[in-house]
Structure 1
């Protein structure tokens, strides 16, 4: 069986490794648009942007590994089309340099950052997004002490960039249109801890504040707010989220629903085409779920590899995430959407604590800032399907007692 994987990120590397580990000895081809081999993305907006981690440490697999595994890795090559078979399994992937026949195709194309439209100045020089290696390589030289940076968007990526810039000596302002930062992804209690952390480090946060445009001629020089103010800037980061990269799938006629719609094994509406990672959405609790995380990409990729080889295993999402900001680590287990009760626990030190999410008395997620013990215990409880009494979470002295 000839397997082609389009997209060369975490999901692709994990899928290729799993296929070989499970005994597939047929051809595997991985095709990536970026010039770099598969690499870690989370450190880009943290250690790599700070200059504390080099490209060599970002790479997921050494060049020798691909050769030793007999996997063809093609980088710097854009896939332009998928020719699906009509009356037989398989088809072919079309690139700028030729075609690659497949019996099974996996799309691991990830996501692309949202940008403000050109009419709002979103394409001016000096404006940046944070997604890939080239984005960070373009941003890093701009982060010089004394300069002014404006971050548009108060999500995790924007806040991580703000923390790095502040550590490097820039004046930083975060502008969030919603009533508070992290409005889509975290409870108010978690947002309050993160807000306090940033304020303590000198970041200015403007919440409930819209922007009308990025100002400047040729190069951005500020951000005009809807209330008439103008915030001067030497560098601007657009941290307004991502969109699943589904252009190839859409052109090929695959079903879409907040990403490439798959079944619980990662199979798309074409039985010969699969999807995993940020570009894919899977069935979950009567709806669909798209996980933008390293853990999600690995789990989905390995499930797809198993299914390609005949396994009937279905994906059982066990989400976990993390975010490093300043010297603090936020660790998240589970998904807090749809919660109807929150319990909090104080942590040790000025910036720390945990937020526990419940739905109908069931523990569904934990956010832990500088509290690894709360994270690990919460994660174990969620994965075991066990729920402590909500009031016990807030009142127990030793969290380990919740496992009893």
Structure 2
């Protein structure tokens, strides 16, 4: 079997409501989702969701190779792009292709990827994550009520701009997930997407912890600030979760060595091989891992095979337009299917018909850091 080509598509995740975080909001809830399809001469194609930046150069590293040599091909792609491959979108392109290759490998073996990777249990614990910073109280309750109906007992809200507002919203979500018929206290997390300085983080979380039990605070300071994350961790009770935006094993190593992270995260867009390597590094330091991202099918399969998986992020309850995924959510967990590969299928006609929905890639949203992030004296108006 040989790799003979690829094609790229772009669809949308249509949340049907505003979504965003402390950095910005997509007011119409429509977000671009790039897709890579890798083709083989055996008629098997694999699907990866992620960027397509410099894909011609990245693909040149694997063209003509056997896709089943996936971990070796991952390193080949990194070597091909070694001056840019450990940064941002190029690393994401490698991750998308890597995911597609794992999909091909499992399809060729006639097994679901979770089984091929050595997983035993197809159930992957989940927590709710509504990208909810723009929602009012009623909308917030409705969104997390839908997660609660699926048995989800943990949730992460977006915040970091107004401590009183965040405390109020966390309490609302706690009450929704911990309704009268549900035993035990739900787990609550807050994600501030790198919006604070070190001192701001300690002051803010300490205030929340006067009335709330936070499981973790996510990305309290800049992603590369190992000393800062360690300082925050020493000053609060909650765990510190970070790592989703780190593009390379060596970037995780610095935070782990500094004792700066309690829950090690990786993003679905960076690929399966990256996740497996980060999980092994974290396991060597007795740390749990937690994948994040929309439609994180690849990392869900991989999570079944590592001993230190904690919980995986559950964002939108619907896949991107034109994409189907062989997975369901019940009793607070993802349940992976039995079909060969990732179980991700793309209806290219449906994707093409949705092209008019594609937002301008240069438009505002959560991907643009505000000018005064980390330099605010007062709470931001969240009304």
TM-score normalised to the size of structure 1?
A: 0.23
Larger RCO: 1 or 2 (CA < 8 Å, sep 6+): 2
Work out which of the two has the higher radius of gyration on C-alpha atoms and give 1 or 2: 1
